Structure 1
């Protein structure tokens, strides 16, 4: 094993155990699923479901930034962390014969997977390389996290796991959740992003909001605005591809708040 720098080394989780290992390929690239507590489920169906999800996600950007990818599944729980060529999640495999059971799980997995783009490669400039001696503040978590919530549902729709109406219902619930917290009258999406070090990031207090919820709604509105202005020749996908190509591939850095806005306005022809 070789890491080019400390950031890469710190981004590579190590989980030693007797996991069951499954595998599949997308565009000739190996994807491994390492499951701590596998239980009873259809192995072929799990591989098929994950492969379709990955194919739908990578088609948005049109480029795969890793040479291999690993899904590390560490048993019961809820939550996970994205890495540039892996995810580490606390999750068992759901009942794959029950769409109501596995769709929620798959949206969670799609969220963590899409973070390899929206956070790890398409990222605000504060989110890497990190200064490990202090907090790294950014105004853009509403897009990095909330935008990824929006895309997790688009990915499942494009992979054939969610209908258009199901996606709209998910977004409707997110908007309802945001509108029912008093913090929406006091805290903006950028303030919630910046305060993530000192405030609950899912909101809940009287004067705070969830940048996941508001960010997902703003991501949808941004997508709709771009489609409306370009009739609809462009979409938020084009913004993502430009950010990926210009800042990750060419400039090899994150983007500033102003650069993000400039790309959005350029794509929307405003």
Structure 2
């Protein structure tokens, strides 16, 4: 693999795990991190993350690995997924948290990886999937559509939204809003991934019939472009006078209509405010109120 290139799990599985020469049985659970050859490791075939992204930010792993990878033994993994035996090859350990570290080690020439073995993570399928999903959810480099797919997998495995929310330590509203992104037309999912379509707009479009979503998005963009053009032609004083006054009560009513939970509000504020705005907001929230 070239330096600084994107890596997927299929490529990684061809570099480690499947090529392992190891044929000795697993010897239980390690109490402390240990360093093992990459040939004894395989990436989790059930990792909800298909694309491991650009590994350039992990090039330092050639010298220092700051955090060990969380793995389970081959036997523990195959008790849950016996059908994955070909996918993991002869590997002794399956990486549950740390697949990017494993890929970076293979990519940049590190021959071994520090690991900690916790077979309790493989107590059942839900626990194993939750461990993999929790590691990725919320990461800035995690594709939002992959995140939605991961959350959906969790709901399917748990059978209910309530149980999935509990396992992921998220609200039911957050779970539902993430899954709603999977209802978007492929063109809109691609636009989210490229940053052309904001998540808050995408959630609204997901409520529109599938066949009408793209047209509605284009219509909304045209209106925004026209509004921008009109705004540029007017003076600052004109723009201020045309806008209705924004009050705390109006904002509160809008939040109530959306049934927004704290995580969604935080996402919206991060998208809406610039750095100075966020600092001002933080000062207001932390200042004593009379």
Please report the TM-score for the alignment, with normalisation by the length of structure 2. Answer: 0.27
The normalised TM-score by structure 1 is 0.28
Q: Identify, as 1 or 2, the structure richer in helix.
A: 2
